[in-house]
A and B are shown apart, each in its own frame.
Chain A
Amino acid sequence: MEDIVSRLKSGRVIVADGATGTMLLAAGLPAGTPPERWVLENPDPIRDLQRAYVEAGSDLIIACTFGANRTRLEQTGLADRLVEINQRAVQIAREAAGDRAYVAADIGPTGELLMPPIGKMTYEQALEVFAEQAAVLTQAGTDVLYIETMSDLEEMKAAVAGAQQAAPGIPIFATFSFDHHGRTNMGVKPEQAAETLQALGVAAFGANCGATLEMTEGAVTKMHEAAPQAALIAKPNAGKPHMVDRKTVYDATPEDMAEYAKKFVALGAQVVGGCCGSTPEHIRAISEAVRS
């Protein structure tokens, strides 16, 4: 496979994968068990899901490491297995991707407020946490570091800087979750995110998760205006969740998401996929829509 930066430069769309968390729940992940535990103890459903995404048309598989930074693992009692979890998760994704898809390693938020003295974490501490995880992920052979679901500009900067320090030269993808009146819940505007991430030199950036497909569309539009040359990412939830028969159901169908994926591409997105609530069927529809 050509390296992912050349692939981005070619202008062709990269179809990422869909949800991991909500799919593992459907596969029987027990309430409150972090998916990272399954990386160690029950990897088959993770690999099966990722294979299903490859079969559905994903060119990029995101390893199950969203919560595998030290701060999060400390809270679930898995911190002493940080290296093992991150290595193993990249291997699982690689097994599923084979030579058909790129592997991206997931870096999620610490869950702390970077607002000293009120928040418990400083920028420097966050940077260290992210650098530690990024170093392990890169050594494990990931193609991309994918920082996602960020709300806070400072934490995003710490994650990007940590990744750049620990793994110079590795391509970085970076996305915020826009879910409060078109901005992140910490108040970051899409255009501000675009300017910052462009200046930091990440390979691609955009929006994931978020409140609605419309809000992601709005964010991508503004990011494109602020950074017309940038390769953008749109990886939204399958609409809003609601309850049916005690089950969480996301209301966007594969067709809905495929329609939006076409819009995102027209607006400058080059990496499209799904977040919470999306399934291999959603990815199949997206893949068919953006390649036709």
Chain B
Amino acid sequence: MNDILTQLQEAVITGEPEQAQGLATQALEAGIAPLDAIDQALNPGMQIVGDRYECGDYFIPDLVMAAEAMKAAMEKLEPELLARQEQRQILGTVVIGTVEGDIHEIGKSLVATMLSAAGFQVHDLGVGVPADRFVEQVKEIGASGDSVPVVVGLSALLTTTMRNQEAVIKALQEAGLREGVKVIIGGAPANPEWAETIGADAYAENANEAVDVVKQLLEV
């Protein structure tokens, strides 16, 4: 692989936003196609970061910094993609939020960041999100005519607010939207049994697993 791309990948793995941005610029100047930089440096870099988190070599700050490095590189690559009328392949659309009554943000935002880095278009609705707001957002995406598959991600850190994950699924059912989306849940008290109980499609233990689970759900 090209030297610049090797270094770019390394800047993602070590979480160096400034270096990553500089290397993205260098890559473009060297005539490397932006899509190649994404596919050969950024994506595999994030994959390695995820693997390292999974086995306990990396922790939340490492994920955060790697995602920042990826974002910094994308800031340089994106205008060039646009200029070439190319698009990074969007794997799917994710609507994510922490459910009503729950204000915990870090885990949810990390999942959003990792999904975004993995190539999903992410609508982060924030924390304390009422069921209706999820429904509204799913409707809006449907109305925009995008045929991309939609995943709804529901986070809850409290045993009390886990029940509101179920409330969102019910609201989607009532709005006739449940069939068209996949629902993934997460948060400290959640687990695969809870996902099954409330009729979610899947559970993910952490941000890294969330990426794999969403990919599996959408078969991408």
Interface residues of A (CB under 8 A from B): 21-22, 25, 29-33, 72, 75-76, 111-113, 115, 118, 151, 180-187, 241-243, 246, 248
Asked if A113 meets B106 with Cβ closer than 8 Å, knowing A31-B163, A32-B100, A32-B164, the reply is: yes
Q: How far is the CA of A113 from the CA of B60 in the complex (A)?
A: 10
List 6 A–B pairs whose Cβ atoms lie within 8 Å, in order of A's numbering.
Answer: A31-B163, A32-B164, A75-B128, A76-B103, A241-B159, A243-B197
Residues of A contacting B22 with CB < 8 Å? none
B132 to chain A, nearest CB (A): 15
User: Is A111's CB under 8 angstroms from B103's CB?
Assistant: yes
Asked if A242 meets B193 with Cβ closer than 8 Å, knowing A180-B59, A183-B56, A186-B59, the reply is: yes
> Secondary structure at chain A's binding surface: helix, strand, loop or mixed?
loop
Cβ-closest 4 pairs across A and B: A32-B101, A181-B56, A187-B59, A75-B103
Q: How far is the CA of A32 from the CA of B164 in the complex (A)?
A: 9
Residues of A contacting B16 with CB < 8 Å? none
User: Is A115's CB under 8 angstroms from B159's CB?
Assistant: no
Residues of A contacting B61 with CB < 8 Å? 115, 186-187
Asked if A118 meets B64 with Cβ closer than 8 Å, knowing A33-B101, A241-B189, A241-B191, the reply is: yes
User: Is A25's CB under 8 angstroms from B159's CB?
Assistant: yes
Q: In the complex, given contacts A31-B161, A185-B59, what are 13 additional A-B residue pairs having Cβ atoms less than 8 angstroms apart?
A: A25-B159, A25-B160, A29-B160, A31-B101, A33-B160, A115-B61, A180-B56, A181-B55, A184-B59, A185-B60, A186-B59, A242-B191, A248-B162
Residue interface bits B77-117, CB-to-A below 8 A is 1, else 0: 00000000000000000000000111111100000000000
- The reply to whether the CB of B127 lies closer than 8 angstroms to some CB of chain A is yes
> Secondary structure at chain B's binding surface: helix, strand, loop or mixed?
loop
Asked if A183 meets B191 with Cβ closer than 8 Å, knowing A21-B158, A72-B103, A248-B159, the reply is: no
Q: How far is the CA of A10 from the CA of B61 in the complex (A)?
A: 40
Residues of A contacting B68 with CB < 8 Å? 118
- The reply to whether the CB of B62 lies closer than 8 angstroms to some CB of chain A is yes
User: Is B160's CB under 8 angstroms from A31's CB?
Assistant: yes
Residues of A contacting B158 with CB < 8 Å? 21, 32
User: Is B193's CB under 8 angstroms from A243's CB?
Assistant: yes
Q: How far is the CA of A80 from the CA of B103 in the complex (A)?
A: 18
B54 to chain A, nearest CB (A): 9
Q: How far is the CA of A184 from the CA of B59 in the complex (A)?
A: 8
Q: How far is the CA of A187 from the CA of B63 in the complex (A)?
A: 11
User: Is A32's CB under 8 angstroms from B160's CB?
Assistant: yes
Q: How far is the CA of A184 from the CA of B100 in the complex (A)?
A: 27
A289 to chain B, nearest CB (A): 27
From B160, which residue of chain A is reached at the shortest CB distance?
A31
Best-buried of B106, B127, B164, B191 by chain A (most CB within 10 Å): B106
Residues of A contacting B127 with CB < 8 Å? 75
Q: How far is the CA of A242 from the CA of B188 in the complex (A)?
A: 11
Residue interface bits B25-46, CB-to-A below 8 A is 1, else 0: 0000000000000000000000
Residues of A contacting B161 with CB < 8 Å? 31-32
User: Is A111's CB under 8 angstroms from B106's CB?
Assistant: yes
Q: How far is the CA of A75 from the CA of B126 in the complex (A)?
A: 12
Asked if A187 meets B193 with Cβ closer than 8 Å, knowing A32-B160, A113-B106, the reply is: no
User: Is A115's CB under 8 angstroms from B103's CB?
Assistant: no
Residues of B contacting A242 with CB < 8 Å? 191, 193
From A120, which residue of chain B is reached at the shortest CB distance?
B105
B218 to chain A, nearest CB (A): 26
A180 to chain B, nearest CB (A): 6
From B162, which residue of chain A is reached at the shortest CB distance?
A248
Best-buried of B58, B59, B102, B194 by chain A (most CB within 10 Å): B59
